[in-house]
Amino acid sequence: MATQAAPTVIPPESEILTAITSTISDSDKVILQQEFMPRLAGRYKITSVLASGGFAYTYLAEDTQRPSAPICLVKQLQPARQDSTFLEVARRMFHNEAKILEKLGNYPQIPQLLAHFEENEQFYLVEEFIPGNLLSEELKIDERLEEGKVMTILKEILSILVYLHAHGVIHRDIKPNNIIRSSKDGRLVLIDFGAVKEIQPQQQDLTIAIGTRGYTPPEQLAGQPDFSSDIYAVGMIVIQALTGIPPAKLSVDKTSGNINWREFTSVGEELAVIIDKMVRYHFGDRYQSATSVLKDLENLL
């Protein structure tokens, strides 16, 4: 499916602005354009575009109704179609994501939801901005992290999962690009909850297959994610950290379906057994809770 062009951030004055900017420098154009940028919900002034892809756009914005005009993150969902049926589905998914983020509250390692609104049939989430570096920047190809550091990363991500799963939420897209090491306190923060699924008691319905190749287990690809699906993703991050090999490049045992990774690193047998259990092909053979993984890790000490 073709990617849609990013929505314009210049209001109707654009013709006047174009005439003016035709005679000034590029740097002055940027400054002038920022002055013409709209305030979403009459409040959030976009300052830059962070990312765009598919039908979603992410911006940095100033909250002009707070005294210090702090920077926040604005996520825009632009529906692929404008017919009423499609818009209603998009609206339901949008409100579900907002509801889940609000439900997760003020946990320090999950961005706080600040607001959500609909404007001109576009959907917006406003979240706390987390300055820092992506975990993917620490996991360099062909570079292996030492076991102690990997253990620290593993325990910290698992502690976030304990909180998430206790609230009945599966993230479904845990990967290094969705984890930030905060520059404020060095803690890991799990971001991008656009793929979250809330599990209801006795829920049996299929869901859309969402995830990233290499980190997504087979049951999730089949549209049936489980809490152990997130555990699988974390296990693959750990394997990547220990081997220096992106998960999608690792081979799979043809008989068991399990990942072949041990030959590429030297790691203690007890830790290797735990990692193996996190990434078993069959979800029933995996750890069923992040708490269980943490308990076994504690027993290693």
What's the CATH number where 111 sits? 3.30.200.20
Which residue range forms the structural domain that includes residue 29? Answer: 14-128
SS3 125: strand
Instruction: Determine the pLDDT at residue 90.
Output: 74
**Which tens digit of pLDDT belongs to each residue from 83-140?**
788 778 777 877 888 888 898 988 999 999 999 998 887 889 999 999 999 999 999 9
Measured distance CA(290)–CA(226) in Å, rounded = 12
Q: Are 72 and 63 in contact (CB under 8 A)?
A: yes
Contacts of 135 (CB under 8 A, 6+ apart): 153, 176, 177, 179, 180, 181, 188, 237
Residue 155 shares a structural domain with residue 243: yes
Q: Of 62, 93, 128, which residue constitutes the final position of a domain?
A: 128
Residue 153 shares a structural domain with residue 284: yes
* Average pLDDT score over residue span 195-211: 54
Q: Are strands 169-170 and 197-198 parallel, antiparallel or unpaired?
A: antiparallel
Residue 93 shares a structural domain with residue 146: no
143: phi then psi, degrees, rounded to nearest 5: -115, 125
Of the pLDDT bands very low, low, confident and very high (cuts 50, 70, 90), residue 30 is: very low
Residue 85 shares a structural domain with residue 33: yes
Instruction: Determine the pLDDT at residue 266.
Output: 93
Measured distance CA(155)–CA(148) in Å, rounded = 11
Task: Please tell me which residue in 63, 83, 142, 173 is annotated as part of the active site.
Answer: 173
Q: Where are the alpha helices (DSSP H) in the chain?
A: 14-21, 26-36, 84-104, 147-166, 218-221, 227-243, 269-278, 290-298
For residue 285, tell me if it sits in a domain. Answer: yes
For residue 39, tell me if it sits in a domain. Answer: yes
Of the pLDDT bands very low, low, confident and very high (cuts 50, 70, 90), residue 211 is: confident
Residue 121 shares a structural domain with residue 20: yes
Share of the chain above pLDDT 90, in %: 63
Measured distance CA(37)–CA(19) in Å, rounded = 17
What's the CATH number where 146 sits? 1.10.510.10
* Domains contained in the chain, number: 2
**Which tens digit of pLDDT belongs to each residue from 74-86?**
998 877 677 788 7
Instruction: Determine the pLDDT at residue 262.
Output: 97
Q: Can you state the angle between helices 26-36 and 14-21, rounded to 10 degrees?
A: 160
Measure Cα distances from 162 to 5, 71, 150, 228 in Å. Answer: 38, 29, 18, 12
Q: Of 128, 151, 184, which residue constitutes the final position of a domain?
A: 128
Of the pLDDT bands very low, low, confident and very high (cuts 50, 70, 90), residue 54 is: low
Q: Of 104, 128, 152, which residue constitutes the final position of a domain?
A: 128
- Asked if the model's pLDDT at residue 162 lies above 50, the reply is yes
Decide if 173 is catalytic: yes
For residue 223, tell me if it sits in a domain. Answer: yes
